[in-house]
């Protein structure tokens, strides 16, 4: 089972995963996405990790211990994450 940090790295390198992430609108869809790709984190942890990544504050411990509710604006955080990795990797 993958950690959230491992899965985020996988998303960064995969155009297909990025396209799937684009359509996630809520906690339930995020949970299904994580389960589909054998990620051991929760939707809440995933949302927090994406938000922290967007703010430049993620590390191994942060990704594994993130807790709390789904991010306040999941679409904005998701879009910011995708924009940042697309700028780095020019995947899409």
| Prediction pTM value | 0.67
Rg of the chain over Cα atoms, rounded to whole angstroms, equals 12
Query: pLDDT-based confidence at 33, cuts 50/70/90?
Result: very high
DSSP at 72:
S
Question: How many domains are there within the chain?
Answer: 1
Domain span at residue 51 reads: 4-89
Which phi and psi (to 5°) does residue 63 adopt? -65, -40
50-59-2 Cα angle (round to 5): 70
Question: How far is residue 36's CA from residue 22's CA, in Å, rounded to a whole number?
Answer: 15
pLDDT digits (tens, 9 = 90+) for 39-89: 999 999 998 888 888 776 545 444 444 444 444 455 677 778 788 777 654
Which phi and psi (to 5°) does residue 87 adopt? -65, -40
């Amino acid at each position: 089972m993958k950690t959230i940090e491992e899965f985020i790295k996988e998303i960064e390198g995969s155009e297909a995963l990025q396209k799937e992430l684009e359509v996630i609108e809520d906690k339930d869809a995020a949970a299904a996405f994580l389960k589909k790709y054998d990620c051991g984190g929760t939707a809440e942890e995933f949302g927090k990790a994406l938000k922290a990544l967007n703010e430049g504050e993620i590390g191994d411990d942060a990704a594994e211990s993130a807790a709390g509710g789904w991010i306040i604006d999941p679409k904005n955080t998701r879009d910011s994450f995708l924009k940042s990795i697309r700028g780095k990797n020019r995947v899409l």
